[in-house]
Structure 1
Amino acid sequence: MDHKNEIHAIRIGRLLLRKKMQGNLSDSEQAALDQWCQSSPHYQRLYDEQFDPTASNHELQTILRYDATKALDQFHKKRTHQQPVRRISKAVIRWAAAAILLITSSVGIYLYNRYTLHQQKDTMALEADVSAGTDQAVLTLADGTIVDLSEEQAGIVIGEKGISYVNGSAIGDSHLKNQKEQILSLRTPRGGQYQIQLSDGTKVWLNAGSELKYPLQFTGDIRQVELSGEAYFEVAHQYKNTKAGAQRIPFTVLSDRQVIQVLGTSFNVSAYVGSPTKTTLLEGSVSISASNNQRRYLLKPLQQLTIDGDDVTLKNIESNNSTLWKDGVFNLSGVALQELMEQVSRWYNVDVSYRSPELRQLNFEGTVPRYETLKSLLAIIEKAGDVSFELKDNTVIVKKKPNKPTAYGIKQK
């Protein structure tokens, strides 16, 4: 099973159990859940104990706190926006297939481990749990009008007649008249994410604590946006007619430390204030001008350019781990704990402090789901290495743990 299917299998397996507990599971979903239970005594025991009226374990309470129907709707909404539209009748088949894939995948062990995790003595001192981030953003128009975008939608689309949500429903456009060439802003708060399709068809996934400035309509030979924070781009090809024939119109991304010129490609940019700027190329080619040395760098697929103060590093990478965030996953491989906790801080809208500075450089391998509650996420990381967490006054305190435990789905390097 490829990595994306593993991610979706984890989420759908959990959601099917939640829907069952809330009494609104469809026949197709019930069949997939039954097959999952029959495949292993571990899964059957998890199912039995969760539906035992005398059970009062933490996992049961966690599941009951979720609105599974809404979560499945949001999942389908994201998939519809990211992939070509398919017939609705195939949606349930995809959900069932993902759940069945869970049966034969090692990912199923993860679900069982999540259950047994809560049967052990909890070593984290947490005063309250924190929910994962959601789809939320603010749209600022050129005249200063602020529009709070719907959290029930995954993103917006810029069309010739104005702005709509990805499902086609309109956003009030009375303020959009005569603003064709003026700059708008899409901003996600800490704990938020959103998507946008620009007027040329370019798709942008905006991570938490980020802002994208763009024109309502691109005009002439200029396609330029400005980014603060992190975003994944799928740039649409656009051409102009010249005497020599059709010529591609470049796409430019401005950030604090660099200028990226693109002809049509897929890439990720992380440009948060106070952190190194990283550009990771997946497809095509990009040219980057670094502001600190006035040099230009041409990236090839699976290369990453990092600008950190006066230092510029270009390296080859083995996979597209830098873009996993948009698929609902935190990547731990090749990432220091400090960088991971910066992502956690933005996604869960919490602060982070360290009791021991050396903990910042701990390294792990693996991935963890991005849609877990904060407590569940930290528990997984804690079980994988010699680190423990405490949540106090909306701050995660990172501490060294005396005894290193057995790896738990991920491992410390």
Structure 2
Amino acid sequence: MDEKIVSLLQKYRANTLSDDEYAQLKSWMEEREENSQYMATFISLYKIQHMQEAYRLADPGKAYRAIQSRYRKRKNVKRIRYFAAAACLIALISTITLLLQPFGGGEDSLARIDFQRSGQPVLFTSTNGEVKSLENGGELITQNSDDTAAIYHTVQTQRGGNFKLILPDQSVVWLNADTKVRYAADFLHDRTLELSGEAYFDVQKNGSAFYVKGGGNTIRVLGTTFNVSAYASKPVVTTLVHGAVEVSNLRDKLTLAPNEQATSATAADALAVKTVNTAIYTSWIDGIFEFQSANLADIMEQLAQWYDIEVEYQDPKLKNVHFTGSLFRDNSIAYSLQIIQEISEVKFRTQNGKLYVYK
């Protein structure tokens, strides 16, 4: 590997890349699919290392030998040609539970899986019914209205969509795919936002409370960053990154501390709280799917939402296969599926416009 690229990867990991260096690294990634695949592996490895608090100065030779040993124990030994370079770039320890690898030629069927990310526009709707189309992946800076009438605006992403909304109080909301938010035109007077879907919030303090309502839960905020997932027919999950929020529903009320997560299956159920690695639940705003012991059903649901596909399982038991790792959201779905296929016995094929999961 070119010494310049090695240097750029080291700076990427240390978060010290300049704009020009970032452009160089991005150009290198786009030159060949192999480069893009290596970058995905590199990111996954250093994230796993961070989560497991590995030593930065671990012996690269020892790390490489540990990787070789792990893969030799598997029935089907996969190619590991890039791991030598990866081991020299980042520290590893033998307790790493999952190592994503560069992926050479996969199943022929994967080459024919060409579902593309949906490019449908984001819809902005006013109370009077006027609808405007906004660019998918773009942003909107909103202005406050002093009109005391009940005027509300709605912003809605579709499958495969994402959007950045800057509210009149300068709070920022990142909308994930298939998400709708509704808020008052006079937002400075009524800082309440109704959510269906998933959004990440960076709330600005202004002396008044900020409320998020979704799935029967109400989150009360004074100034903080947090993520809320409130898709229909799914548990409501509130993940606090910084600050403090009060979460309540028909049964419970509690206050979260940073790195805590509250979950309830319905508005009438008790809130379950646990400590989590918040990066796993917020990395989507940086264009990454990140999974920590996630079952295949949840992973495929996210991919289906992003690429607007329908998934069928040959055996329902396959839904419970678990994975840990990272995938780039802007890559083709074939690439993401190949990663899953290479590290498991799960396989994929398409038929009649659907994606089938089999073993």
| TM-score normalised by the chain length of structure 2 | 0.71
Question: Given that residues 390 and 398 in structure 1 are in contact (C-alpha distance below 8 angstroms), is that contact kept between their aligned partners in structure 2?
Answer: yes
The equivalences for 1:8-157 within 5 A come to 15-17=26-28, 59=33, 105=89, 113-114=102-103, 117=104, 120-125=105-110, 127-133=112-118, 136-151=121-136, 154-157=138-141
Counterpart Cα distance in 2 of 1:226 and 1:336:
29
Amino acid at match of 2:133: D
Aligned to 1:376: 335
Q: What is the aligned residue count? A: 289
Flag structure 1 segments of 5+ consecutive residues without an equivalent.
22-49, 51-58, 64-101, 163-176, 240-248, 401-413
Give secondary structure in 2 for the equivalent of 1:335: strand
Deviation at 1:224, TM superposition (A): 0.3
**1:227 equivalent among 195, 198, 216:** 195
Residue 296 (structure 2) pairs with residue 342 (structure 1): no
Unaligned ranges ≥5, structure 2: 1-9, 38-85, 92-98
> What is the CA-CA distance between 1:112 and the residue it aligns to?
8.8
Asked if 1 retains the 8 angstrom alpha-carbon contact of 2:195 and 2:214, the reply is yes
Cα deviation for residue 375 of structure 1 reads 0.7
C-alpha distance in 1, partners of 2:231/2:284?
15
Q: 1:198 to 1:290 in 2, by over 3 A?
A: same
User: CA distance change for structure 1 residues 111 and 273 in 2, over 3 Å: closer, same or farther?
Assistant: closer
Cross-structure match for 2:143: 159
Please tell me whether the aligned partners of residues 142 and 179 of structure 1 are also in contact (alpha carbons under 8 angstroms). Answer: no
Q: 1:178 to 1:297 in 2, by over 3 A?
A: closer
Offset, 1:135: 8.2
What corresponds to 1:358 in structure 2? 317
Q: How big is the shift at 1:5?
A: 5.2
Asked if the contact 2:150–2:184 (Cα under 8 Å) also holds between the matched residues in 1, the reply is yes
Match of 1:251 in 2: 210
Match in the other structure for 2:256:
299
Q: Does the 8 Å CA contact 2:106/2:338 hold for their aligned counterparts?
A: no
| Structure 1 pair 112–353 and aligned structure 2 pair: CA distance change class (3 A) | closer
Indicate which of 338, 346, 354 corresponds to 1:387. 346
CA contact (8 A) 2:219 2:247 kept: yes
1:236 counterpart residue number: 204
Give the conservation status (yes or no) of the 8 Å contact 2:180–2:195: yes
Query: Counterparts of 1:174-323 in structure 2 under 5 Å?
Result: 182-220=151-189, 222-239=190-207, 249-291=208-250, 293=251, 295-309=252-266, 310=269, 312-323=271-282
Aligned position for 2:57: none
Q: CA RMSD in A?
A: 3.5
Change (3 A) 1:13 1:113: farther
The letter for the 2-side match of 1:131 is Q
Contact kept in structure 2, 1:126 and 1:392, CA below 8 Å: no
Question: Residues 365, 128 of structure 1: CA spacing in aligned structure 2 closer, same or farther, 3 A cutoff?
Answer: closer
Aligned residue for 2:294, secondary structure, equals coil
Report the CA distance between 1:129 and its aligned residue. 0.5
Deviates more, 1:331-340 or 1:268-277: 331-340
Tell me which amino acid in the other structure corresponds to 1:189: Q
Change (3 A) 1:188 1:321: same
3-state SS in 2 of match to 1:213: strand
SS at match of 1:366: strand
Paired with 1:192 and 1:276, the residues of 2 have a C-alpha distance of 21
- Change in Cα spacing, 1:261 to 1:112, as seen in structure 2 (3 Å) is closer
